[in-house]
Amino acid sequence: MIQLKTILTLDNPFIAAASGLAIVNAKFMIAADDENFVALYDVEKKSGISIPIFPGELPLDLHKRKKIKPDIESLVYLPGSKVMAVPSGSALNRDRGALLRGDGSKIKDLSFQNFYAELRMTFSELNIEGACVINEEVWFFQRGNGSLGENGIVKTTLVSCMDGQPTILEIQHISLGQFQGVNLSFTDVSYWNSHILFLAVAEDSNSTYLDGNVVGSFLGLMNSKGGILKIEELELTSKAEGLCAQDDNFFLVIDDDNRKLPSRLFSGTIPVEWNIDF
């Protein structure tokens, strides 16, 4: 089991449903799936700032908030210290993303409407939860937490993503197995050492929209062909969501599906054997 250390509680600014994570200019950029902003945190100062990326205020009522939230699920570090905020597509109104500068300010909105419409022809329960750059491509990761359990990778070109018009190169279906009888599904990814680290969660729900009981969170390693090399349980009772890596360390944020509890940022060490067993 991989041990974790809490390095920051996300209470200033407050985030309850942390979902995307990136390291930019020595700070942690974090997105929440139920907020209209991203936040930049300084771990040493134990605080941060919020930067609006979408206009308006979300309602406090949980059901109303869930219905109209942007559902940003991943932050992807791009060349030139830019960051792409990626929505889930788990509902028809969850297709608006953004291209951001390293300071969190928005360069432009990104529409994933056409891209996701194409993907719904393959995935009947679309739920994009992670993405990363690998060479000249961007890989989007479909979370199979719906009734059909469809985990997958969608490969696109980096150029088309930067232009805001991702085009499908290839779709690859992935099986992650089960834990305690519950299907594992992707919740985020990060490029590391010519490979891909990924988070997978066993959440007891047959819906991409409704939350369920989390019975386990895992860190995995995938090669550049999409083959699963390693997967190991994390010492964590919460749902692991956003992920990024730096050197031999990885960082993740959690979502407890509770608006009253702040999310936390954790650090961990990538197992030594993962680096030498390639």
The 10s digit of each residue's pLDDT in 218-257 is 999 999 999 999 999 999 999 999 999 999 999 999 998 8
Using CA atoms, how far apart are residues 180 and 253, in angstroms rounded to an integer? Answer: 23
The range of the structural domain enclosing residue 199 comes to 5-276
Task: Say what the pLDDT of residue 80 is.
Answer: 87
CATH assignment at residue 22: 2.120.10.100
Which residue in 72, 84, 81 sits closest to 160, CA to CA?
Answer: 84
pLDDT tens by residue, 85-103? 999 999 999 999 999 999 9
> Tokens in use for 74?
């991943």
- In this model, does residue 210 exceed pLDDT 90? no
* C-alpha distance from residue 270 to each of 119, 160, 215 (Å): 32, 32, 22
Which residue in 183, 271, 151 sits closest to 219, CA to CA?
Answer: 271
Using CA atoms, how far apart are residues 222 and 173, in angstroms rounded to an integer? Answer: 14
pLDDT tens by residue, 160-195? 988 888 999 999 999 999 999 999 999 999 999 999
- In this model, does residue 209 exceed pLDDT 80? no
Number of domains into which the chain is organized: 1
